[in-house]
Amino acid sequence: MSAEATNPGNPGAAGRRRGRRRLELRGLRRIGRAALLGPAPRDGLPHALEHVAKVHRGHHPDADLDTLTRAYLLAESSHRGQLRKSGEPYITHPLAVTLILAELGAETTTLTASLLHDTVEDTEVTLNQVRELFGAEVCYLVDGVTKLEKVDYGAAAEPETFRKMLVATGNDVRVMSIKLADRLHNMRTLGVMRPEKQARIAKVTRDVLIPLAERLGVQALKAELEDLVFAILHPEEYATTRSLVMEYADRPDPLADLARRVRAVLAEAGIDAEVLVRPRHFVSVHRVRLARGELTGADLGRLLVLVGEDADCYAVLGELHTCFTPVVSEFKDFIAAPKFNLYQSLHTAITGPSGEIAETLIRTHQMHRVAEAGVIALGNPYAPTDGADAPEGERADPTRPGWLSRLLEWQRTTPDPDTFWTSLRDDLAQDREITVFCADAPSDGSSPVAGGAIGLPAGASCVDAAYERHGEAAHCCIGARVNGRLATLATVLRDGDSLQLLMAPDSAAGPSPEWLDHVRTPAARLAIARWLAGPQESGARPVSAGEGPAAVPLADRPAADDDRPGADPVAASLLVVADLPGAAVRLAGCCTPVPPDTVTGFAVRGGTVTVHRALCPAVARMAATGRPPVGVRWRGADQGGHGCRVTLLAEAFSRPHLLADLTEAIASQGAAVVSAAVEPPHEQRVRHTYTLHLPNAAGLPSLMRAMRQVPGVFDVLRAGRARQAAALRP
C-alpha cells in the first residue's frame, strides 16, 4: 500500500484552473509540512492532524478527536524513520488518505482505521495491539486492507489479497472505502515509478478499483482515478483532451449564462434552488468527444440544480421543461428508480437561447452528498438506530442487494486464484446493472406469485437470472416467460422485465454447453462448467465398471445439444445400453430420442455418453469433426411401458381455435403438455412447438396421427432442424 513519489504531470492542475471541485490538495501540502514538524501537540492536537480535524468537524461537529489523536501518535511513531520514494516522511501517506476520506464525510472509526491502515503491514504493530487500543471494529477495518505477503502466496498474493478484501467488504463496506482512498493517493504520487510499473498499477486500478468505486457510488474518487489512469495508459488521448479543455478555459462559458437564466426562472417560480455549473472530468470529456465528434463549450460541463426536498426536484423539472425547450430523449428518473449504487437524480437536457444543449442534473443536497461519496456519505451504515440492537453475524449490504452478494457467492466456489482474478475482472467490467422482477410458478399450477426483485449486470440472460434466483437448482430450468410471453433461456433481459422461470418438476433437466455462450455472470458460468465437468458433479449416476456393455440408468440431466425450449429428458426409469463400460448416459435435448428411434451416441466431457437420434444434425456435425461414435441401444425388446418426453412441431394453416383443437387432440391421447410456443403466422402458416410427456412411449405414433387429423394441420414432425418428413416420422 505504500505510495510513491509526487507526479508532476498530475492532471488535476488543468481541472483546478477551470474551477473543478477537487479534494483539497492544499490540505495535503499543509499536513505534509506539519508532518515534518513532528507529533508535538498544540492545544492537545498534533500539528499534522489539525487540517484533518477541521474538515472532519465540518461534517461531524461532535466528533471525538481524542481517538484520532491516539491513532495518529501510534502511526507516526510506528512509521518514524520510514520515507516514501519522494523523500517525504511516510506518515504523510496515511494522513493524506485520512484527509481524502474526511473530505467525503467519513465518520471517526473509518478515519482512525485509515491512519493505521499500513501499520500492521509495514511496521511492528500487530492486529492484537490495534484491537486492544482501538477496539474490534477498527481492527477489522485495518485487517481488511492489509496485504497478504508474497513470501506466503507468491504470484497469487495480489488476487488473494483482493479476495480477502472483498470478503471483508461484504461484512463492512468501509474496508473498500479505505482501499479506494489509499489507491487514489498512490495514483496521485506515481510519477517516480518505472513506466512499466505505473502501467501495471494503472491497469489493476482500471479493471478492479474504479468499477468498485462505481458500485459503491463514490463518484468523487472514481472520477479522479479515471483521469489518473487515463493519463498513464492513454497519454496521447489524454493530451488531446487536456488541450481541448484548456482551449475553452479562457472563453466565455455558455453554461454560465444559461445557469443565470435558470436561477431567474426558479426564483420567479418560488423554488429555493442552488444552480451550479459542474465541469466534466477529462475522461467524461473524452467520452463525449467520441460520441459527438465536434465539441462545444456546453459539452464541457453540466448544470447541477440542488434543492431541499424530493418534491422540489420534480417542481424544478416542470419549470425547466416549461420555460426551455427540453430534449425529451435525455430524460431519466433515477429518483423513482435509483441506480444499484444508491445514486438518485433527475437527468434532463434543455436548449439555451443560442441553441446550446445543456445536460442538467436535478437532485436534493442529500442526494448530491450520496452521489459524490456513495456509501461513505452513510457514515457508519451499521450503527444501531432508534434503540435497535447492533447487528449480529454477517452484516447486510447497505447498498441495494445485488452485485456484492453475487461477488461473495461465486468467490466462495472459486478456489483457483487465476480463475477468481479473471472472473472478478469480467464481472466488474459489466458497468451497468438491471433489476428484474421474478414471479414464482406454484407447483399446483395456479397463478404465479411475486418472488422479489433481483439485480443482474446489463446484458444478462434468463440463464443468469435462473442461477441468481435458484443457485445450482437452476440446472433444472427448462424455459422462461418474460413479460408474460414464452422466451428462450438465451433471451437477454432488460431493466424492469417481469420474469417467470419454468423449472422441471422432476429435477430431470440440466444445463447445455450452449448455455455458456449467453451467460454474463461468473456465478452462472462456474456452476454450469462444474456440472458439465463430470458425472459426479453433474448428478449423473455412473454404473460400476465391468465386462461387456453397460446397462446404464438414463441420467436425470440431458446434454441438450440444442438450447431450444423443450429439450427435456425421458423419465429416469428408462434404461439405455451403452457399449462403453462405466459411462453415464443421457439423452440429447436437440432431438429428444425415444424408443424405438434408431440412436447413436458420442462421448462428451466427464465420460458421459450423449444419445442422439441417428438422423439428428448434431450427429453429422460430430462425425465431421472426427469424433468416434459409441454404440447405444434401447434396453429390452419391448419399450412400450416406459414414459417419455418429446418435442413435436405442428405445421398448420392459421385459423381460429387451432391451439384449442390441437391441445384437445393431445389430451385425448393421454399426453400432458409441459410447455408450448406459437410462432407468429407467416403467409397464413403457423408453427406450434409442444414439449409433451407421454405415459407410454409406444403411444407416440398414434399421438402424431391424432394431431395430423386436426383440421388445418398439414404436418407434425419431431423436433429437428428442418422437415425430413418421411424419415422423421415414426
Give the Cα separation of 143 and 117 in Å (integer): 8
Q: Nearest-5° angle of CA 500, CA 504, CA 509?
A: 120
Residue 598 buriedness (CB in 10 A; 0-12 / 13-18 / 19+): exposed
Sequence-separated (6 or more) residues with CB below 8 Å from residue 114: 94, 97, 98, 101, 106, 178, 181, 182
Give the Cα separation of 634 and 640 in Å (integer): 11
Give the Cα separation of 37 and 379 in Å (integer): 31
Q: Which of these is catalytic: 122, 310, 472, 579?
A: 122
Indicate the length of the chain as a whole number: 730
Q: In what order do the strands lie in the sheet with 584-587?
A: 584-587, 608-613, 599-603, 629-630
Taking only Cα atoms into account, the Rg of the chain, rounded to an integer number of angstroms, comes to 32
Contacts 24+ apart (CB under 8 A), 522-525: 522/406, 522/410, 522/414, 522/423, 522/424, 522/426, 522/427, 523/406, 523/409, 523/410, 523/413, 523/467, 523/468, 524/463, 524/464, 524/466, 524/467, 524/468, 524/474, 525/423
Indicate if 683 belongs to the active site. Answer: no
Query: DSSP letter string over 519-585?
Result: ---HHHHHHHHHHHH-HHHHT--PPPP-SS-EEEEBPSS---SS-STT--PPPTT-EEEESSTT-EE
Cell of 655: 385459423
Is 342:374 a contact under the CB 8 Å cutoff?
A: yes
Buried b (16+ CB within 10 A) or exposed e, 40-77: eeeeebbbbbbbbbebbeebbeebebebbbebbebbbe
Pairing of strands 325-326, 332-333: unpaired
Q: CB neighbours (10 Å) of residue 504?
A: 19
Buried b (16+ CB within 10 A) or exposed e, 266-276: beeeebebebb
Q: In whole angstroms, how far apart are CA 383 and each of 236, 249, 400?
A: 47, 45, 17
Is 562:589 a contact under the CB 8 Å cutoff?
A: yes
Give the Cα separation of 572 and 557 in Å (integer): 9
Which ranges constitute the DSSP H helices of 135-281?
A: 136-144, 150-153, 157-171, 174-188, 195-204, 210-215, 219-233, 235-249, 254-268
Pairing of strands 672-678, 685-694: antiparallel
Q: Which of these is catalytic: 24, 50, 121, 143?
A: 121
With H, G, I as helix, E, B as strand and everything else as coil, classify residue 278: strand
Residue 444 buriedness (CB in 10 A; 0-12 / 13-18 / 19+): exposed
Identity at 66, one-letter amino acid code: D
Phi, psi of 628 (to 5 degrees): -75, 140
Give the Cα separation of 238 and 251 in Å (integer): 21
Cis ω before 695 (30° cut-off from 0):
no
Residue with cell 420534480: 314
Indicate if 272 belongs to the active site. Answer: no
Please choose, from the candidates 705, 703, 673, the residue with its C-alpha nearest in 3D space to the C-alpha of residue 691. Answer: 673
Give the Cα separation of 703 and 337 in Å (integer): 50
Give the Cα separation of 336 and 346 in Å (integer): 9
Give the Cα separation of 467 and 452 in Å (integer): 15
Q: Nearest-5° angle of CA 252, CA 254, CA 260?
A: 105
Residues that are catalytic: 121-122
